[in-house]
A and B are shown apart, each in its own frame.
Chain A
Amino acid sequence: MDQAKEEILRKYLDGDLSADKEQEALHVIADDEEMRSMLRFEQLLTGTDFSAYEVPAGFSDSVMQAIETAQEPVQEMQPGFAEQVKDWFSVLFEPREIRMRPAFAMAMVLLIAVLVGLPYYTDQPADNQIATNNMDTPTVEQVSDNGEQVWTRFVYIDKEAESVSVAGDFSDWNPIELTRQNLNGQQVWTGLVPMDRGEHRYMFIKNGEKWVTDPLAPVQQDDGFGNKNAVIYL
């Protein structure tokens, strides 16, 4: 659009033309596709309700929270710790979601044994519970398989930990914080991590400083610095 036409259009849109000049301008506009297109756009602008764009404060937070919740399917609190644990893990163990290798199945069997044992201690003095639960019980579980990428759930039970993270080659050994779930005073740390198929090494980090080898990992391997990494195959 040349400058003269641009000026005519601007003046027309701003209502700066006399009636005669406006008629002339309309003829010029009618003959020029670009000017007609600007006029259509002007109609769009004047018909737009700008208040409809307003986004309530905190909206992005609530979306991200909803997404996080959808990814962590934890059952609602039920009376009775045994039922809670059973319900909670039945979610994790839903057959259609999980395809475990035999080695994982062994690790999970061990975990269930420990958890099933817990209700027997619930009537005991608190000290007994702490002694029992001091047995750190970490493990890994494959929860969904999306072609080359596998969502893997890490679970770690530790009553005393202030924070628990998992780090591995899949995160360039940067700690990924696990989320704390409270089940009758039991602290279950859990998190979903996407990983590529293949072999991975990982360790848990307790309270941001203590690196812990997963004792239930079917395969452990020296890391060359005096520690052992757990190894999983997806």
Chain B
Amino acid sequence: MTEETSDEIQLIDKILEGNNNLYRKLVDRYAPVVFHVVRGFVNDEEDVQELAQQIFVKTYEKLDSFNRQSKFSSWLYMIAKNHCRDYAKNIRRNNKRFSEMESFELQSKMSQDNTTEEDIEVKEQSALLSIALKQINPDYAEAFLMKYRDDMTYKAMASRLDESVSALKVRVHRARKELKDIIEQKS
């Protein structure tokens, strides 16, 4: 068990003992993961926020059934996904507008029941990226985000950060490797 996992279990124990306010730490830490999952299902931002909140409330209510053998992030991810799927099913049953999504898009998302374990793992890894980014060296994370999120060239990055292109390439590569290690540990 990693140190972080054991810290997380201690935190969950304290919440279950009645320190409810500590749950905020888990919300702060994992909100980006949940939002990432929900936005895969729903486009309307109001619905996104409502669903994300419902997922955290549901997780809080089920916290005493958390199996300590698994990772909290994986457990939360599954709750989030199932909640979104139930929501989508209900919307479809009620024949209501499902966000701005076209029906074929919805069909394709709903057919995720047929997705392989590997697909689920990839999606979960993608969701966990935001957490991993907070754990690596901030200089590496900054360079990484400029490259992958902002799509900047190394030349533009070098000029912005007043660093050499070669130094930034090394930072980005170290970020890739560290992120991969962290995500593989988590998922």
Contacts and interface: CB of A to CB of B under 8 A. Distances in A.
Interface of A: 6, 10, 13-14, 16, 37-38, 41-42, 44-50, 52-56, 59-60, 62-64, 66-68, 70-71, 146, 149, 193-194
Interface of B: 17-18, 20-21, 23-24, 27-28, 31-33, 35-36, 39-40, 45, 49, 52-53, 56-57, 60-61, 64, 122, 125-126, 129-130, 145, 148-149, 154, 169-170, 172-173, 176-177, 179-180
A182 B103 CA distance: 48
B35 A53 contact: yes
B177 to A, nearest CB: 7
Closest 8 CB pairs of A and B: A194-B18, A50-B149, A53-B32, A53-B130, A55-B31, A52-B39, A60-B27, A10-B173
B24 A60 contact: yes
A52 B130 CA distance: 10
B176 A42 contact: yes
A168 B65 CA distance: 28
Contact of B126 (A37, A47, A193, A194): A47
Nearest to B18: A194
B164 to A, nearest CB: 14
Could you say which of A47, A48, A71, A149 has the most chain B C-beta atoms within 10 Å of its C-beta? Answer: A48
B154 A14 contact: yes
30 contacts: A10-B173, A13-B176, A14-B154, A14-B169, A14-B172, A16-B169, A38-B176, A38-B177, A41-B180, A44-B126, A44-B129, A45-B179, A47-B126, A48-B129, A48-B148, A52-B35, A52-B39, A53-B35, A54-B32, A59-B49, A63-B53, A63-B56, A63-B57, A64-B21, A64-B23, A66-B53, A67-B23, A149-B17, A149-B18, A194-B18
Main secondary structure of the interface of B (DSSP, over half): helix
A16 B32 CA distance: 33
Contact of B31 (A6, A60, A66): A60
A64 B24 contact: yes
Given A52-B35, A52-B39, 14 more contacts: A38-B180, A41-B180, A44-B122, A44-B126, A46-B148, A50-B145, A52-B40, A53-B129, A59-B27, A59-B49, A60-B31, A63-B24, A71-B20, A194-B18
Contacts of A47: 126
Contacts of A49: 39
Nearest to A171: B18
B64 A146 contact: yes
B35 A64 contact: no
Nearest to B30: A55
Contacts of B130: 53
B150 to A, nearest CB: 9
A41 B176 contact: yes
